[in-house]
Amino acid sequence: MNPITLISLLLCAFYTSIASAQVFPTVTVKRIPISGIGIEEGVCRRDPSDIIQVDDRYYIWYSRGPIKSGYNATVWYATSPDGIEWTEQGQAIGKGEAGAWDFGSVFTPGILIAEDRYWLFYTGTSHPFQQGMPDSKIGLAVADSPDGPWQKLSNNPILRNSDNIDDFDSLLIDDSCAMIRDGKIFLYYKGRQFGRSPHETKMGLAVARSVQGPYQKHKSNPVIQGNHAILNWPQGKGVAAMIGVTGPEDLKNSVQHSEDGVHFAKTHNVIDGPRAAGSYRPDAFTGSLKAEPISWGIEIGKHHGNQLPYLERVEFQWPGNQH
């Protein structure tokens, strides 16, 4: 082949590859200390729920316990007038009775407002996570007020890990994140397969016609091939998910969007994304088809050494004044 022709072909291929490589806009994250549920000696606060606003107060729920992990915890809550100064109000959901499926721990809460009531999803284990095989399942409690009292459903747990060892959620399920979509409840959760590491956690979806269930796991599960913590919200006519450092390289540190809530594709890069955060996402309870991107939330603060986890505020800065 003529050398000039060869060089021309190589240059053509090079510039074609550059043109076809998609450049994604970037979301950045700003962190702000908060009071009331921040750093406290001897207290672990982690796994925050999404945030709701009732009248002039914001509410958040979270795991609270004496150790770093959530596997010896109960669900507590706090309120705030501004999302920065918080007042811890006390325990919302306690452990079950001896022998119950949630006797070992209750943690990673998720909040939903639907059917004129308040619903708290939570993860439960029957024994300490470190003793024997994990057995985490997802339960549900309901109240007429965000301040409680909370009543656990009699049909708990409402979602179980799979009995099929080959399924992505055969080892454990956790970290529920629910929203109203098309008149149904879309419950996103994380799952891990037997023999897999925490870095191989994936995201699943279960759907129900009412909050109490029954919930049917989606046939397309896992709907996202990674993510250790679920941060999902309605956006536009679809659903968005912010992915951290867990998953395939092309998935990490990104925002994924889906028009149908099932099939996701990348829309943004994320720099220094949140750690196991919950967000303020009022559109999650309305079924809106014009939902805005999230602007702030609460995450687990970056702790070191023997320091116990704590909570802090995160603010999301979208490119081009998208929010």
Backbone angles phi, psi at 100, to 5 degrees: -75, 160
Neighbours of 191 (CB within 10 A): 25
**Where do runs of H (alpha helix) occur along 90-156?**
none
Q: How far is CA 32 from CA 23, 29, 314, in A?
A: 29, 10, 6
Q: How far is CA 321 from CA 29, 154, 313, in A?
A: 14, 46, 20
- The pLDDT of residue 48 is 98
- The pLDDT of residue 85 is 98
Q: How is residue 8 written in tokens?
A: 């021309």
- The pLDDT of residue 71 is 78
- The pLDDT of residue 197 is 86
Instruction: Average pLDDT across each block of 10 residues of the chain; the chain has 323 residues. List them in order.
Output: 50 39 89 96 96 98 89 95 98 96 96 98 83 80 99 98 95 95 96 90 97 98 93 97 87 96 97 94 91 96 87 95 57
**pTM value?**
0.91
Residue with tokens 């909570």: 311
Output DSSP code: residue 224.
Answer: B
Structural domains of the chain ordered from first start: 24-321 (2.115.10.20)
Taking alpha carbons only, the member of 284, 264, 292, 313 closest to residue 181 is: 284
Q: How far is CA 56 from CA 13, 76, 84, in A?
A: 59, 20, 14
Bridge partners of 28, per DSSP, are: 271, 317
Contact yes or no for 88/75 (Cβ under 8 A): no
